[in-house]
Amino acid sequence: APALFTDVDGRYRGMDKNIHTVKGHNVYTIFSLWDTFRAVHPLFTLIAPDKNMEFINTMLLQYQQHGLLPVWELMANETGTMIGYHSVPVIWDAYQKGHRDFDVELAFEAMKKSAMQDHLGLADYRNLGFIPFEREGNAVSKTVEYAYDDWCIAEMAKSLGKMEDYETFIHRAQNYRNVFDTSVGFLRGRRADGSWRTPFDPIESSILGSGDFTEGNSWHYTFFAPHDVAGLIELLGGDELFSAKIDEMFAEEPIVTHEAAHDITGLIGQYAQGNEPSHHVAYLHNFAGRAWKTQEKVALIMDSLYTDKPDGISGNEDCGQLSAWYIFSATGFYPVAPGSGDYIIGSPLFEETTIHLDNGKTFTVKTEGRTRDAVYIQSAKFNGKPFHRSYISHKEIEAGGVLEFVMETEPNKEWGYAKEHRPKSYIPDEFRLAPLEERLVFIPFISKEKDLFHEPITFEIECLTPGVTIHYTTDGSEPTQQSAVYDGPITIGETTLVKAKAFRDGMQPSETLRREFIRAYYRHSNRVYPTIELEHGPAGRYTGRGKNALLDGTRGTIDFFDGEWLGFINDVVAKIDLGEPRHVESIRLSFMRNIGSWILLPESIEIAVSSDNINFTVIGTEQHTTTPADYDIGIKEYKFDAGQTFRYARVIARSTRALPEWHPGAGNRPWLFIDEIILEY
């Protein structure tokens, strides 16, 4: 992949579902860009740049038909699978290398538009400088991958003389720093209020759509700042500690903590060659002047995780990425940061490898003395002259020549050690931002676990930004500096919507905290009632904490694996018994929407109440049709007014029978995820 999508007469089905005819190039499909931006497309820039141009021109056609560049396109459908907007580095990498047979202005327009959306956490990423984990699944992975993509946009903008855009995106490219917790030395989930996810374990893995990381953990992602490795080295305490951290990754226990994280494979410690986020990590030693460690680790990966047998790769091939990693690494170098124009040197495997370039020239890599044990570079020559750098540029390769290495069993720790011989990857000093804590007033918070209560409660409003004044309201209005000043604990006895905003001179005010406390009947303090019975139980791994989780007073988060959500493959039919007739003002219930994970909102909801458990009166219904506009992950609360006394309540939520035709899983049965059923009084 990508695979040819045009017929012999140039016709193809576009992303607008119409039949088009293309002239001048072929159209392709299957753009697994989260995987292939790393090495597959950079490999094409060396061995088949004209083909890569066709890929880019296809992406631009898809942009014109669909409105956005592809993320993970399949047969003229945007699947929405995986994260980032990784068409961007493919385009910039080609442009930076002088491959420009496409509409450059259209390409930049498309790149910028992908980055300026409000979906998939981008609004928070843009406004706060990071994505809070309580608002978006895989928030840390998205933050750091968006940051790299934004660096590519910044560099493209600079090359086109668009300096205002350059400044915007070079600032955004530093957002990876905002989810790096220096107190633990890892990327870590962060709340909008500035606090860090607790408890935290860097080995704790998560899957696509659930948890802080995409098919990985903090070990896999902490080293992802390929555009600013110098900044990452600084965060980790300098060259020696940075290099030691990579060593620690390879020495960790090779375990996967999430039962559904099937993509985390090919483990050497916590390095995972079977999935993409780790692929560049072994090469990062070069940036710290420890090129011999890169040579050692790359050789280890090639030797232990690749064979010529049918199962000769350690994970999903992912449309060529695992093979492209091997082709580059066996040749002797790897594109750590596509778009930088540099390849980072590892441990070449073959006695002689020749790349036949599109310009008619050849580039040859030769080794002397390479064996399974002799993996270390002792010396190198390029076109007959001594070569001390641990990287080589694309321009040097395109000019043709011969790069020769002498290999031995003991490392030469001086080769590639000098500062001038290390690869460069940094944000210019004049565009460096101050730490986030010095620029952003964090949103206030209330340290109270449950939104539900049955007796009057007292709470405090706090803010992690020092020196702020907090203004708040309890009447639903937006807080301003004319609203009441928070000066101590607040007590409430009825359902109340609390809003609060923090202000500090010289800084932009915080976002508005919105927290509703609901007086309700729920299971607390060993109470027997209310009880709940389900006609059909939850399915598979999605049984959460059992049926009583629907009445425990704790509302589910954006993570459908948090234990509060129950997942159903059929309709939800629930009956609640309050124990005795009680007055209820409203009935609320929440459903998860995560279309990429096949979780849809209910097609219909019916709420009925009864005093005798026989004769039920319907008090509310709701209908919903799922459309592509629902693609963002979210939680939808449905509220039905009751205003009457009853003992029993019945909830019927009907699942959509099949995923819609525009969905990549069209025809399959979707999931229905429900959490708290709230009986407000």
84: pLDDT confidence band, cut at 50, 70 and 90? very high
Instruction: Specify the pLDDT at position 65.
Output: 97
**Model confidence band, residue 265 (pLDDT cutoffs 50, 70, 90):** very high
State the amino acid at position 425 in one-letter form: S
Task: Enumerate residues 6+ apart whose C-beta is below 8 A from 321.
Answer: 32, 35, 36, 38, 39, 40, 276, 279
Interval 638-646 mean pLDDT: 97
**Residues 243-252: tens digit of each pLDDT:** 999 999 999 9
Segment 660-680 mean pLDDT: 93
Distance separating alpha carbons of residues 646 and 640, to the nearest angstrom:
15
pLDDT at 312: 94
What pTM, to 2 d.p., does this model score? Answer: 0.93
User: What pLDDT sits at residue 632?
Assistant: 79
pLDDT digits (tens, 9 = 90+) for 187-227: 999 999 999 999 999 999 999 888 999 999 999 999 999 99
Within 10 angstroms of residue 449's Cβ, the number of other Cβ atoms is 8
Candidates 260, 400, 303, 404; CA nearest to 345 is 404
Give the per-residue pLDDT at 210: 87
Query: Does residue 421 contact residue 286 with C-beta atoms inside 8 Å?
Result: no
Instruction: Name residues whose C-beta falls within 8 Å of residue 256's C-beta, 6 or more positions apart in sequence.
Output: 205, 264, 267
Task: Report the pLDDT value the prediction gives residue 588, as an integer from 0 to 100.
Answer: 98
Give the residue from 76, 26, 73 showing the smallest Cα distance to 50: 26
Q: What is the mean pLDDT of residues 261-286?
A: 97
Q: 312: how many CB neighbours lie within 10 A of its CB?
A: 12
pLDDT digits (tens, 9 = 90+) for 136-174: 999 999 999 999 999 999 999 999 999 999 999 999 999
**Using CA atoms, how far apart are residues 664 and 72, in angstroms rounded to an integer?**
11
Q: With bands split at pLDDT 50, 70 and 90, how would you rate the model's confidence at 636?
A: very high
Tell me the DSSP string of 27-70: -EE-EEHHHHTTTHHHHHHHH-HHHHHHHHHHHHHHHHHHSS--
pLDDT above 70 as % of the chain:
100
Q: What is the pLDDT of residues 442-499, one digit of tens each?
A: 999 999 989 999 999 999 999 999 999 999 999 999 999 999 999 999 999 999 999 9
Computed over every residue of the chain, the mean pLDDT equals 96
pLDDT tens-digit readout, 285-311: 999 999 999 999 999 999 999 999 998
User: Does 630 have pLDDT greater than 90?
Assistant: no
pLDDT at 70 over 80: yes
Domains of the chain, start order: 1-103 (1.20.1050.60), 441-520 (2.60.40.10), 522-680 (2.60.120.1190)
Torsion sign (Cα): 67, 73, 79, 80:
negative
Is residue 631 over pLDDT 80? no
The separation between the first and the last C-alpha atoms of the chain, rounded to the nearest angstrom, is 58
Q: Which residues pair with 605 in a beta bridge?
A: 622, 653
Structure tokens at 416: 């590639």
Q: Is 127 helix (H, G, I), strand (E, B) or coil?
A: helix
- Dist CA 415 CA 123 (whole Å): 45
Q: What per-residue confidence (pLDDT) applies to 15?
A: 95
Query: What's the per-residue H, E or C state across 326-341?
Result: HHHHHHCEECCCCCCC
Give the Cα separation of 157 and 339 in Å (integer): 13
Q: pLDDT band at residue 92, thresholds of 50, 70 and 90?
A: very high
Indicate if the pLDDT at residue 272 is higher than 90. yes
C-alpha to C-alpha distance for 34 and 188, rounded to whole angstroms: 21
Residue 510 has pLDDT above 80, yes or no: yes
**Is residue 525 pLDDT above 90, yes or no?**
no
* Whether the Cβ atoms of residue 169 and residue 120 lie closer than 8 Å to each other: no
Closest to 271 in 3D by CA, of 263, 279, 261:
279
Given this model, what pLDDT does residue 463 score? 98
Q: What is the pLDDT of residue 633?
A: 85
**Structure-token match 């047979």, residue found:** 101
